[in-house]
Each structure stands twice: as structure tokens, then as C-alpha cells.
Amino acid sequence: MTSVLLHDIHMKRESKSYIDSQHAILTAAGWFRGPKHMLSGLSGMAFKMSVHEQLLSFSVSAYGQWVSEHKPAANNVGLLPEIDGGRTRHPSFRWYQEQAVLMVKRSLDRGLGAIYWLPEFAVISGYDDDDRVFYVQDGWSGEHQIVLYDNFGLNVTPFWYVETYADWIEIALEEQVLESVRLAIGDWYTPYKTLPDTAIASGKLAYAFLRSGLLGGAYDAWGAGYILDAYAFSRTEIRDYLRDVEACWPELREASEDYDEIVSGLPYIQSCVQTLQGGCRLEPEQIGELVDRLATAERLEDQAISRFERLSARYPDRARSTVPRWGTHSPR
């Protein structure tokens, strides 16, 4: 084929850009039929929270090494991902770029879009060999952006990333749910996922970075608004996800109630976001109330994670207790 355009892919920015992209691709292919909050919850992506010490906006997508974060997320919803990426400064980038262009075209020929770091994550939904271009949806506009084959992977960041899917299988819902809470536990107790950089905190520590950033005053106002907006949406996703799956185990029903309380405090946080999006700093009286509400939310989320731990402990965890084929043993 010299050109392909997948008309059934419609990306809309709402959740994390990775999930927005994945949901658009999978629903168009018929590989996922649930609402976006179910995909976000089952993949564990809704639970990821990362905050830069100066509340810079890029921290929302800086939740770890993307291959390490996205592969378990895709695996848990039955996907076999093909992922490539790295730093564009590497001498071998041009070779990888050529191979990635072919990989994306093969996926589009099969009727499956590709996730692409634009930034943020976006969807490649078509290509044209005559013009040597890809058609990309960023989720903000209904219009396609154009990426030249020769510019594939080049952007304002030093990173490039692309993800396609080779195959898909069905996994029992109970198995997906159990693994999703185990992914949430891991995220909560991992303070730094971008080591050696310790300017970005994850999980429980991200709450502390968010509070201290607001109290310190030297934060990026637009970034703070973006982080808080993403936080509010993701915690609502978790609440909605747990409501849909809480019948599986009592611990999930209890955790759902914890997130209900978190969501009940979001209207005040979202009212602050409106102020921040205008490029203004929060008033001192807003910061005090906002920090108090975030501290309460952290306590509730910590309680919910403890419930997840009790649920996880009741069942074998082969993924984390089985030594891999080569394991950590010394060669003999």
C-alpha cells in the first residue's frame, strides 16, 4: 500500500495521554470495549502519580522509564506490545528511526494505530508513501498533524518513543483487577522512578513534593495547574474503576469508599486550577486549604493501598515470586 488512513481512530485528550492514545487505538480495532476509566484502571496507569519539585508540567508524563512502565500496563490488558525508543542524540538513532518507520507502517497496514511521543503521547493513524508522511492525532484538535518520515522521533524533548501491538488475548477480569492493584502498590511505594534524577517523585512521595512545592511558593503556576488537573482526573478515574469492579472483593469496595472521599474534595482543588491556568499564583489562603486537602487525600489513598495489600496477600503472586529463567544467580 502507498497510503493508509484509519478513519475509526478518534483520540480525545482526557486522561494520561498514553491511555488516551491506547484507548483510541484499541477501541477502533475492537480489542477493548470498555470506557476509558476501565482501561486506565486495569492497566494500572490511573494510579501513577509523579510530581517535579518545582511543579513543572512535564512531570505528569515523567512517571518512570516508559518501556518499564508501559509494558506491564499493556500486558495486563492482554496486549503484546512492540516498543522502541530512546534518545535522539545517540549515533544509531537514524538506523532505529528507519526501522521504527517500517514498524509503524506494518501496524497501520494491519489496521492498528501506533502510540507516538509528539510530545505528549499521540496516535499515528495513517501514512502516505508518496509524500513520506505520517498522520498524527494529538487529541486536542480534530485535525491531523503531519510528521515527515525523515523527522520521525525528532521533537522538542531529547526522547523518542513508539509503541505498536502485535497481538491480543483475553484475560479473566479477576486476574486483571488483581494485577492492577499490585501495580498500584508498586507505584505507591516507589519514591523515585527516574533515578539518578531525584527532582521528580512518584507515588506517596509525590504528594509530599506537591505540598512542599505549593508551600515553597517558587513553583511554575501553569505546571501546578496542569498537575492538579491531571491529579483530579486520575483520582476520579480510580473511583469510577473501583466502582465497576468492587463486586470482586470486599477490599475493593472499601478502597472505593476511600477514593469516594478523595473525589469529594476535588471541587475545591479544581477551583484552584482555574486560577492557576490564568497564569496567576494562588492566594495564601488558597494554598493553606489546598495543602490540607491534599494531606487528607494522601491519608485516604494510603489507606486504600493498605486494603490492596491485604487483598494481594490472599493470593499467590507468581509474577513477583517466581525466579526468572536466568534469575539473579551467577552463571555456572
CATH of the structural domain 3-33+79-168, one choice from 3.40.1230.10, 3.60.15.10, 3.40.50.1000, 3.90.70.10: 3.90.70.10
User: Residue 70: CB partners within 8 Å, gap ≥ 6?
Assistant: 18, 81, 83, 163
How far is residue 219 from each of residues 131, 197, 261, measured CA to CA in Å? 44, 18, 27
User: Residue 86: CB partners within 8 Å, gap ≥ 6?
Assistant: 93, 96, 159, 160
Residue type (1 letter), 40: S
Could you tell me which of 76, 81, 83 has the C-alpha nearest to residue 40?
Answer: 76
Grid look-up 501506533 returns 114
Average model confidence (pLDDT) across the chain: 94
CATH 1.20.120 residue ranges for the chain: 173-318
Q: Residue 117 forms beta bridges with which residues?
A: 121
What pLDDT is attached to residue 257? Answer: 97
CA distance 251 to 179: 14
Could you tell me which of 85, 92, 140, 88 has the C-alpha nearest to residue 115?
Answer: 85
Q: How many CB atoms lie within 10 A of CB 190?
A: 15
Instruction: Please say if the pLDDT value at position 234 is more than 70.
Output: yes
Q: How many CB atoms lie within 10 A of CB 47?
A: 27
Grid look-up 494529538 returns 138
User: Class of 173-318 per CATH?
Assistant: mainly alpha
pLDDT tens figures, 3-49: 999 999 999 999 999 999 999 999 999 999 999 999 999 999 999 99
Grid look-up 475493593 returns 252
3-state secondary structure the chain: CCEEECCCCCCCCCCCHHHHHHHHHHHHHCCCCCCHHHHHHHCCHHHCCEEECCCCHHHHHCCCCHHHHHHHHHHHCCEEEEEEEEECCCCCHHHHHHHHHHHHHHHHHCCCCEEEECCCEEEEEEEECCCCEEEEECCCCCCCEEEEHHHCCCCCCCEEEEEEEEEECCCCHHHHHHHHHHHHHHHHCCCCCCCCCCCEEEHHHHHHHHHHHHHHCCCCHHHHHHHHHHHHHHHHHHHHHHHHHHHHCHHHHHHHHHHHHHHHCHHHHHHHHHHHHCCCCCCHHHHHHHHHHHHHHHHHHHHHHHHHHHHHHCCCCHHHHCCCCCCCCCCC
What pLDDT is attached to residue 329? Answer: 46
What pLDDT is attached to residue 17? Answer: 97
Report the pLDDT averaged over residues 142-148.
94
Query: Residues 241, 46: contact at Cβ < 8 Å?
Result: yes
CA distance 270 to 228: 7
CATH 3.90.70.10 residue ranges for the chain: 3-33+79-168
More confident residue, 144 or 277: 144
pLDDT tens figures, 150-160: 999 999 999 99
- Residue 148 has φ and ψ, to the nearest 5°, of -70, 145
- Per-residue pLDDT band for 319 (boundaries 50, 70, 90) equals confident
Instruction: Please say if the pLDDT value at position 308 is more than 90.
Output: yes
Query: Residues 42, 170: contact at Cβ < 8 Å?
Result: no
pLDDT tens figures, 84-139: 999 999 899 999 999 999 999 999 999 999 999 999 999 999 999 999 999 999 99
| Cell numbers describing residue 131 | 509524500
